[in-house]
Structure 1
Amino acid sequence: MRKITFKLLSNLSTRYITNGIILIIILFTYGIIGSYFIMDLNLIDSIYYTVITMATVGYGDYIPTTGIQKLFATTLALSGVALLAYVFNVILSNFQEKIGIFSKGAKKMRTIQNMDTYYILCGYGRVGKVVYNELNQRHQNVVIFEKNEELCENFEESTSSIILNKDATEDDLISKLAGKKCKSVIISTGDDVTNLFIVLTIRETNPDAWIVSRVSKSENFTRLRKAGADKLVSPEIIGGKDLYLESAKPHLLRLTVQHTPEEIFDEFEIIAKHECTLENIDYHIPGIETPLSRDIKTMDLEDGKRYQNFLKNNEEAMESLTNLYNSVNNIHSHLISGPNRNTLNELVKSLEKQETIIGKNLTDKEIAKITKKEIKRE
């Protein structure tokens, strides 16, 4: 308890300490000068009289007799009492504040200890808030590290969400929390250097922790990966891709089709012939709304030829692809971009001769209804 008390008092605001010292010096100087010139005491006795009067001890060694002496003694005593009250109040207020913070911190740690598992989120800025909302919607326990208290003013803590106003790069608490109970550490600050230090801090004591880090600059991908991050995500790159897709929407077509793996190259040949780009493929699991998505982003016919040769020479790959197509009843969607709407319309006419087209620009929900009917039909 003595250690805790000393720590709390040692953290007393320097502003209050400085003000107290200045007031004491001013009052002490006033007392010595007044005792010397008004009470007619020598220097040593002036210091002695000032101390006992300020402390309201009053041994009675020196009794003021004249009016000015009594006035001086009264002002010195009252000022001493006021100063002592001020210093005592500052210490008491600070002590109560620190005790409150200490108690609040202990309560937070108990809440974290009572969690079966949790995610650690470093950074509660623009990206961090989005990550937290995703975790909260899925009823996950979250421990947030955010040193900027202003960002946390409106955050409502609960038994499943705790926020710690600590710097994850300087506090070893994050290393202790990133143990077996931690599902994953998500680092979402916008500073790559900060993210790097957090990764190093955690990885040093938790080699098995799963760490996902945000990265802003492409040249820092390698550094963060070497530091120990398992996955790296760049909101800037993802945002740039979304901006392109949104801007290209007038020239984008989502085509839901049904064909076998043997017809892949024929389909790709038609897409390349119309100078369109195959952006991605979505494989629709029957009855499930969210598809399996795979980025392609190519319009080069040579890519298609290389892939066809790869499948011909790799039986295991062809078997895996065939199993995938069988599991989705050969139903999948292509996101195709083209130079203009007329070209896309011509592309659809050409593909209709090659394969079954289920629909254009269907939503995942609409496709899930179609695949669900396929299940019932079987």
Structure 2
Amino acid sequence: MKYLEILLKSIKKDKRGIIGVLIIVIFLLYGILGSIYIMKLNIYDSIYYTIITIATVGYGDIIPITPLQKIFSVTVALSGVGIIAYIFTYIISSVTENLQDIRSGRIMERKLAEMENHYILCGFGRVGVAVYEELMKRNQKVIIIEKNEEKLEDIEDNGNVIALHRNATEDKTLKKLNIDKSLGVIVTTGSDVDNLFIVLTTRELYNDSWIISRASKKENVNRLKHAGANKVISPEASGGTDIYFAAVEPNLVHITEKHGVDYIGKEMEILRKYNCHLENIEYHFHGIKTPVSRTIGVMDESEEDSFIEKINTNKNVRESLETIYSTVNEVHSHWLSGPDKSYLDKAIEELKKEGIVLGVNLSFDEINEFTKQFKE
């Protein structure tokens, strides 16, 4: 019964199944009408003769006599062989494909259930791709929801990425994404109406979620905020990088340190160990509230090694850095990102053991006291 249901579902959604049914009906009509007009049988015997001939049983109780009758019987028998072969092939392939779909669906449900400390990216258009690339640079885990299957063709599911061909505006889709265990929901579809609906639904289902939304039109920014988005970014003025940083904001840590140029390599080594990244560097001048900031972005291992080598071998680069560090008395801060809070905590703890950390998430007044102290 279960396999029959699977087969019927396959026929309904598969053009091959519909075409196959039509072919069978046509051949049955051909056999029945031919039996009536060529074999000179009544309607009941025509149905009987057509079926046993197609099934190649041939009990011999009805025998073709004229050449035309024999040719007709041969064509019915041959078509029967082809029809039976088609039916069995289709049944086997359809049931196998559907069982595989069922199994893969269960595997996907299990993967979704096990996902945690991840980001949920709703919409995989131009902006969504830009956000995804930022997430991948930092080895973040992400579930991508996109209703256009073609946009997901080049993405391979792995331990860190799950790509789902679903509609993110549906409650049943959102409920399967472990939003309560996620680091944030990023909404980047090209439709502000869809974005609004996703934000509203997510906020209703999961009140504590960190939600970032794209607004294609500036006039919809406030609407999305009222719907429950923590941050709303308009790509007219910003890009995927800004949306990424808004998404990870609750998971960024601001750390203030004091060390010289010679310690940069050791610092990067510790952060690399825990898959954490220096997103920027802020140089603090005493009494000035806004620090001089420079974006670092994500560097892979080879880029970090190249940068350290440049410091050690290029006299001009080293002298420039030493001048900046000495000007601020070596007091500077970084925004750190990492896979999740536990990794950041481990990295910061090791940096503290090295004795270079002045504090975490310090206020301006606290940082200013340090710059004053070292200035004196």
**Contiguous gaps of at least 5 residues in structure 2:** 243-254, 259-277, 294-319, 332-370
> Secondary structure in 2 aligned to 1:237?
coil
Residue in structure 1 matched with residue 50 of structure 2 by the alignment: 50
Using the alignment, how far apart are the partners of 2:150 and 2:217 within structure 1? 27
Using the alignment, how far apart are the partners of 2:74 and 2:109 within structure 1? 52
Question: 1:178–1:209: 8 Å Cα contact kept in structure 2?
Answer: no
| 1:323-368 deviation per Cα after TM superposition (whole angstroms, max 9, x unaligned) | xx9x752354689xxxxxxxxxxxxxxxxxxxxxxxxxxx999856
Q: Does 1:237 align with 2:244?
A: no
Query: How far off its partner does 1:198 sit?
Result: 1.6
Using the alignment, how far apart are the partners of 1:188 and 1:236 within structure 2? 13
Query: How far off its partner does 1:291 sit?
Result: 5.6
Query: How far off its partner does 1:224 sit?
Result: 2.0
Using the alignment, how far apart are the partners of 2:322 and 2:184 within structure 1? 31
- Mark the CA change 1:369 to 1:199 in structure 2 (over 3 Å): closer, same or farther: farther
Using the alignment, how far apart are the partners of 1:202 and 1:103 within structure 2? 28
Q: Letter of the aligned partner of 2:61 in structure 1?
A: D
Residue in structure 2 matched with residue 87 of structure 1 by the alignment: 87
Q: Letter of the aligned partner of 2:176 in structure 1?
A: K
Question: 2:116–2:178: 8 Å Cα contact kept in structure 1?
Answer: no
> Secondary structure in 2 aligned to 1:180?
helix
1:13-162 counterparts in 2 under 5 A?
Answer: 13-162=13-162
Using the alignment, how far apart are the partners of 1:369 and 1:109 within structure 2? 55
- Mark the CA change 1:114 to 1:189 in structure 2 (over 3 Å): closer, same or farther: same
Query: How far off its partner does 1:194 sit?
Result: 1.3
Residue in structure 1 matched with residue 221 of structure 2 by the alignment: 221
> Secondary structure in 2 aligned to 1:238?
coil
Using the alignment, how far apart are the partners of 2:279 and 2:329 within structure 1? 10
Query: How far off its partner does 1:192 sit?
Result: 0.7
> Secondary structure in 1 aligned to 2:328?
helix
Alpha-carbon RMSD across the aligned residues, in angstroms, is 3.4
Greater Cα offset, 192-201 or 11-20: 11-20
Question: 1:122–1:146: 8 Å Cα contact kept in structure 2?
Answer: yes
Query: How far off its partner does 1:289 sit?
Result: 7.7
Query: Is the radius of gyration larger for structure 1 or structure 2?
Result: 1
- Counterpart of 2:287 (choices 330, 334, 344) is 330
Q: Letter of the aligned partner of 1:290 in structure 2?
A: N
Q: Letter of the aligned partner of 2:132 in structure 1?
A: Y
1:149-298 counterparts in 2 under 5 A?
Answer: 149-170=149-170, 172-238=172-238, 290=280
| 1:165-215 deviation per Cα after TM superposition (whole angstroms, max 9, x unaligned) | 111123613223243211111111111111122223323322222211111
Residue in structure 2 matched with residue 278 of structure 1 by the alignment: none
Using the alignment, how far apart are the partners of 2:3 and 2:187 within structure 1? 32
Q: Does 1:10 align with 2:13?
A: no
Q: Letter of the aligned partner of 2:286 in structure 1?
A: N
| 1:17-48 deviation per Cα after TM superposition (whole angstroms, max 9, x unaligned) | 33123212221221122212221212221122
Question: 2:112–2:178: 8 Å Cα contact kept in structure 1?
Answer: no
Residue in structure 2 matched with residue 371 of structure 1 by the alignment: 328
Greater Cα offset, 30-39 or 222-231: 222-231
Question: 1:146–1:164: 8 Å Cα contact kept in structure 2?
Answer: yes
Q: Letter of the aligned partner of 1:60 in structure 2?
A: G
Question: 2:214–2:235: 8 Å Cα contact kept in structure 1?
Answer: yes
Question: 2:36–2:46: 8 Å Cα contact kept in structure 1?
Answer: yes
| 1:223-262 deviation per Cα after TM superposition (whole angstroms, max 9, x unaligned) | 32232222211111226xx9xxxxxxxxxxxxxxxxxxxx
State the identity as a percent: 45
Q: Letter of the aligned partner of 1:226 in structure 2?
A: H
